[in-house]
Structure 1
């Protein structure tokens, strides 16, 4: 595709740069409108500058991707309500054998959960669990936060629903869920293992320091808090032992007081007192019977509520498993996710608004603006011209070509972000590989998915998962920790290059 007119090239480039700046740095001082508004602004400028028409802008919005993204977000909300991520968090500390075992568990659980519930969701939910475990074992948080974010990115590469760029690739390439998983799973498994080993080697000395004294202090403190809660001064008097001196003295004082009172009152008063005492005893008997009758009924109600909750959770898990099976059977991914989401709303049997309010509609709107902006930038002819220059060196049937293609994807994913990179390069990379064979076309799509996803580990700004972990850790109440850009970069550059290279040899 040749370059458009100079005016369209300049105006389209301006609109794309504005979109890129606001997407990568959403709090820029000169226009602090945020990432979503920046995406819409870029798309609107493409139409206003007449780089594309309004009809072309609407046509650029891919409803299949938006439907799939919406459905998976709703399913993730219900899984969170069903305590799925709470159980995953408990697995992190269950029968732990030390810091090195913990960091391996973080890598494994983060990768698996991200493959099926998206990397962003896993990072949002698991960050606080990781911080609590690090504090409980008196360990530095940053190796575990790096393990969570990097493994989430690597694990999400294995499935079409693991991250947004894979959603785009799955829809555009029409590769089935099963073939996608089969093609990248070996690379994902080896990538998670290598990433965990790299973390262990890099932080071996730091993870070998165990401060047992502080762990004991934390346990003693927790026990003291528990005891003070259970045995408050207001309730201690009701549990005085019968044979204690204080209890005997109380009984003596009460008996002396009763004798003096009896001697000092008339017989009529004494009789009325006896009657009133008899009526009180009868009332106490009735109230005790009522309590004995109500306690079993309350227990039955609690048992019924508990079983209803277990049944509902089981339904949520079964629907999720059914969705994954349907995806493996190559049913339409978008409608499968939406159907699973609607099934969970119906089974919940209550107003779905609270659950739907947790869906990130700003992300859906961001995608709409991004689709329009990228389509407008494509119309300028700049991406095609640059690709024409790189195409002879990026042939998929040569090792050198795969290496150069991977470097291009890696650099663009960190400069432009991974989803726009997939939208800009996807069709061109596939067309180049299709000229060789159909198998190479499929491999090209999978290489694009693998490299654009793992590229997110290169720097703190490389993927949304990294930013989510950083922000969640910083804002966690009483557990706040700031993951710096340079501490991430020191780990991210070598890990990304090694994991990417190893994965490329295993993609089928």
Structure 2
């Protein structure tokens, strides 16, 4: 077997399992090692490797992460969590509020930043009220995943698809917004029914480090910085909708404005950027380019098309990306497929199919999305164990219902 294929398979095996068997190498490490191995073995030249890295997508993602991170540094996320979770309402009503909040935030801000900021706060606040944190954490996680499909801004995979297929902001949203909105009551109804008798703290066992004994100290809300971030977010969306300026330049310019500050240290805002994700994508650009140079992916795609799998059909693309994203992950799945999707008048529909497929299937298993991993790991650090069985017990029915919803919506559109 060709060394290029071997390296590619080892990298994607690590993406599937979360680590490289026999080594302490995680997904990001595997992608970086794979890229360097492709160059070292001469399977791609250094010049070609640099050219393969899509700086436009990385620039867009980096800029939007900076803007989203500004909300963390300004104390906005803790303020929202405290306001919402402290409302004197019943547990099902509180869950509904958190689901709407998660869906709304993830549609205009990078969803992974939202989950990182909100998870420990939700744990602390629910425990302080004597509530079982698990249904609220799962509901929030599911809503973030499904709500993020509404716009290009919602997730890295949306941005990758948008940049590669040159999707319009409004065209994408017109197709993806409705199912994203409908998914939120689906998440609420499913989680509410499954946890209808398990809302209180005495129905869950916590670990030794219970945050109820040591409340989280949150930074006070900096209203001026939050207002600045909000104005810049609105300006980004307006530029995406009403101008043809390069999106990556808009996002990077917005990031520069956020970093020029007399009140907040730039290192604090930069610290919110997911560097591992940036390195993961960089490595995968090189690994995928090396494999593409062999002609093997094109051959496989042509054989699949000959077998009746039409990647220009939104429903077919939705089903393919749904399965693939739960094997290798959302971002790698989109990166693998987008080079072979036709750039036609149906690009907005195809891009939305990619977003719906990855977002709506993300809740099947813990490792179906980075948001799921973040919620489980951060909850565990706070003394709350969410097992794979517990996650799937709610995630599988949520995903099945949302996938069915998306297929109906796509059928209506086509």
Fold-level similarity (TM above 0.5):
yes
Contact 1:65–1:168 at 8 Å: present in 2 too? yes
With over 3 angstroms needed to count, the CA separation of the structure-2 counterparts of 1:153 and 1:136, relative to structure 1, is: same
Secondary structure (helix, strand or coil) at the match of 1:204 reads: coil
Contact 2:150–2:180 at 8 Å: present in 1 too? yes
1:365 matched to 2:271? The reply is no
State the distance in 1 between where 2:265 and 2:101 align: 32
Deviation of residue 459 (structure 1)? Answer: 0.7
Deviation of residue 100 (structure 1)? Answer: 0.4
With over 3 angstroms needed to count, the CA separation of the structure-2 counterparts of 1:171 and 1:469, relative to structure 1, is: same
Greater CA drift, 115-124 or 42-51: 42-51
State the distance in 1 between where 2:13 and 2:255 align: 34
1:77 matched to 2:81? The reply is no
Which residue in the other structure is 1:294 paired with?
Answer: none
State the distance in 2 between where 1:131 and 1:472 align: 9
Which residue in the other structure is 2:380 paired with?
Answer: 474
Deviation of residue 453 (structure 1)? Answer: 2.2
Number of positions where the alignment pairs a residue of Structure 1 with one of Structure 2:
395
State the distance in 2 between where 1:91 and 1:386 align: 52
Contact 1:409–1:451 at 8 Å: present in 2 too? yes
Which residue in the other structure is 1:411 paired with?
Answer: 323
1:160 matched to 2:165? The reply is no
Contact 1:166–1:449 at 8 Å: present in 2 too? yes
With over 3 angstroms needed to count, the CA separation of the structure-2 counterparts of 1:314 and 1:445, relative to structure 1, is: closer
1:453 matched to 2:356? The reply is no
Deviations 1:180-226 (A, max 9, x none): 2222100100112212111122222323x698xxxxxxxxx99xx9x
State the distance in 2 between where 1:360 and 1:409 align: 24
Q: Of residues 415, 418, 429 in structure 1, which corresponds to 2:341?
A: 429
State the distance in 2 between where 1:472 and 1:210 align: 18
Alignment map for 1:121-140 (pairs within 5 Å): 121-140=113-132
Which residue in the other structure is 1:107 paired with?
Answer: 99
Which residue in the other structure is 2:250 paired with?
Answer: 336
TM-score (norm 2): 0.87
Q: Show structure 1 runs of 5+ residues with no match.
A: 1-6, 212-220, 226-305
Q: Of residues 298, 301, 304 in structure 2, which corresponds to 1:384?
A: 298
Alignment map for 1:75-474 (pairs within 5 Å): 75-207=67-199, 310-330=223-243, 331-348=245-262, 351-391=265-305, 392-395=307-310, 403-430=315-342, 434=344, 438=345, 440-474=346-380
Contact 1:127–1:469 at 8 Å: present in 2 too? yes
Deviations 1:48-92 (A, max 9, x none): 333333222111100011111111111122211222212220232
Contact 1:51–1:380 at 8 Å: present in 2 too? no
State the distance in 2 between where 1:441 and 1:484 align: 39
TM-score (norm 1): 0.72
Contact 2:84–2:97 at 8 Å: present in 1 too? yes
State the distance in 2 between where 1:354 and 1:396 align: 43
Contact 1:127–1:472 at 8 Å: present in 2 too? yes
Contact 1:447–1:504 at 8 Å: present in 2 too? no
RMSD value, Cα:
2.6
With over 3 angstroms needed to count, the CA separation of the structure-2 counterparts of 1:56 and 1:28, relative to structure 1, is: closer
Q: Which has the higher helix share?
A: 1
Secondary structure (helix, strand or coil) at the match of 1:498 reads: helix
State the distance in 1 between where 2:407 and 2:372 align: 23
State the distance in 2 between where 1:349 and 1:131 align: 29
Deviations 1:124-162 (A, max 9, x none): 011112212321332222212211211111111111121
Deviations 1:298-354 (A, max 9, x none): xxxxxxxx99x5444433332232222222224322111111111122243665233
Contact 1:119–1:163 at 8 Å: present in 2 too? yes
State the distance in 1 between where 2:80 and 2:268 align: 23
Larger Rg: 1
1:11 matched to 2:8? The reply is no
Contact 1:429–1:445 at 8 Å: present in 2 too? no
State the distance in 2 between where 1:350 and 1:467 align: 29
Contact 1:460–1:466 at 8 Å: present in 2 too? yes
Deviation of residue 414 (structure 1)? Answer: 1.0
Which residue in the other structure is 1:289 paired with?
Answer: none
State the distance in 1 between where 2:296 and 2:319 align: 19
State the distance in 2 between where 1:146 and 1:312 align: 30
State the distance in 1 between where 2:225 and 2:358 align: 38
Alignment map for 1:49-64 (pairs within 5 Å): 49-64=41-56
Q: Show structure 2 runs of 5+ residues with no match.
A: 203-211
State the distance in 2 between where 1:448 and 1:26 align: 22
State the distance in 1 between where 2:230 and 2:317 align: 40
Deviation of residue 29 (structure 1)? Answer: 5.8
